[in-house]
Amino acid sequence: MGQRINVKKILGIIAAFTGSVILITRLPYWIWMLAVGVFLIWFGLLMYQQNW
């Protein structure tokens, strides 16, 4: 039995991709720098607290 194509999932991916392209092209660069900086701080703290 083959799987059917999930149209809702494909439409969701297309909508997310389109929204991200619109955001990337419309927002000023300093907002992206701020977002990347906050993400790196959060990710660094998350990795520091892991006990692997």
Q: Please write the tens of the pLDDT for every residue from 5-39.
A: 788 999 999 999 998 888 888 888 888 888 889 99
Residue 25 forms part of a structural domain: yes
Query: Greater confidence, 35 or 52?
Result: 35
Structural domain total, the chain? 1
The pLDDT score that the predictor gives to residue 2 is 56
3-state secondary structure of 11: helix
Residue 2 forms part of a structural domain: no
Q: Inform me whether the pLDDT recorded for 52 exceeds 70.
A: no
Range(s) of the domain holding residue 31? 7-49
Residue closest to 19 by CA, chosen among 30, 27, 9: 27
Burial 5-24 (b: 16+ CB within 10 A, else e): eeeeeeeeeeeeeeeeeeee
